[in-house]
Amino acid sequence: MFKHWRTLVLLLSLGLATKALWIPAKAELAQLLIADAWQQTLSQGGEHRPWPWADTWPVARLQWPTGNIDQWVLAGSFGSSLAFGPGLSRSPGVHGPATVIAGHRDTHFGFLQKLQRGDRLRLQGRDGSWQHYRVSQLAVRDSSRDLLQLYPGQLTLVTCYPFASLQSGPLRYVVRLIKV
């Protein structure tokens, strides 16, 4: 009955290793495809999906040069786009249009916990131009009680909080940036 147990253990180990490597490999491939779609957007304009069945496309590029962060921002901040990168939400804001980018704390927006007031980030638009921002405020907000105050010309980055938690609750880490 247990004559081939070593073979069974080896096959199970290979299966688990393949599954564990599949997710990072898929994420890396997705980033290459998203980067290519962004280059098409810059050179041709329009919306270019990174793969034919994608329900999102790159709309901006976010960089934090000091932290060596370079990410493509996808259209929409819903689950299927946030799995591949931060998502852009345009909001009417309190006093005019505002830009909000959301991302997962355990992947693309994990770097937010390293930001400090005064740090500089930049955002590239579809026309290729860069907007430069400076971190003005870092805060934890309870999304079940606090309305996110948005202002024109500001960039707001949002992720779940706390960073090391395995569960998601109402707390959000909010980074406000102003144009410089």
Q: Is the pLDDT of residue 94 over 60?
A: no
- pLDDT given at position 14: 75
Residue 47 lies in a domain: no
76 close to 89: Cβ distance less than 8 angstroms: yes
Residue 12 lies in a domain: no
Residue 82 to residue 102: CA distance in whole angstroms: 8
The two beta strands, 69-75 and 87-91, are: parallel
Sign of CA dihedral 133, 163, 172, 142: negative
- Read off the pTM: 0.84
- pLDDT given at position 168: 85
Q: Is the pLDDT of residue 2 over 70?
A: no
Residue 135 to residue 84: CA distance in whole angstroms: 24
How many domains is the chain built from? 1
Q: How many CB atoms lie within 10 A of CB 120?
A: 14
Residue 143 region by backbone torsions, left for phi larger than 0, else alpha for psi between -120 and 50, else beta: alpha
Which CATH number goes with the domain that contains 68? Answer: 2.40.260.10
Residue 70 lies in a domain: yes
79 Cβ contact list (under 8 Å, min separation 6)? none
Residue 10 lies in a domain: no
Residue 155 to residue 133: CA distance in whole angstroms: 8
Residue 142 lies in a domain: yes
Residue 82 lies in a domain: yes
Residue 51 to residue 80: CA distance in whole angstroms: 13
Question: What is the residue range of 167's domain?
Answer: 55-179
Quick one: pLDDT band at residue 170, thresholds 50, 70, 90?
very high
Quick one: pLDDT band at residue 91, thresholds 50, 70, 90?
low
| 4-32: pLDDT as tens digits | 777 777 777 777 776 766 666 776 788 89
| 96-139: pLDDT as tens digits | 567 899 999 988 999 999 999 999 999 999 999 999 999 999 99
Q: Among the listed ranges 9-13, 116-120, 144-148, 152-156, which one has the minimum average pLDDT value?
A: 9-13
Residue 40 lies in a domain: no
Residue 37 lies in a domain: no
| 27-82: pLDDT as tens digits | 678 889 999 999 999 999 999 999 999 999 999 999 999 999 999 999 998 877 88
For the segment 144-154, the average pLDDT, to the nearest whole number, is: 84
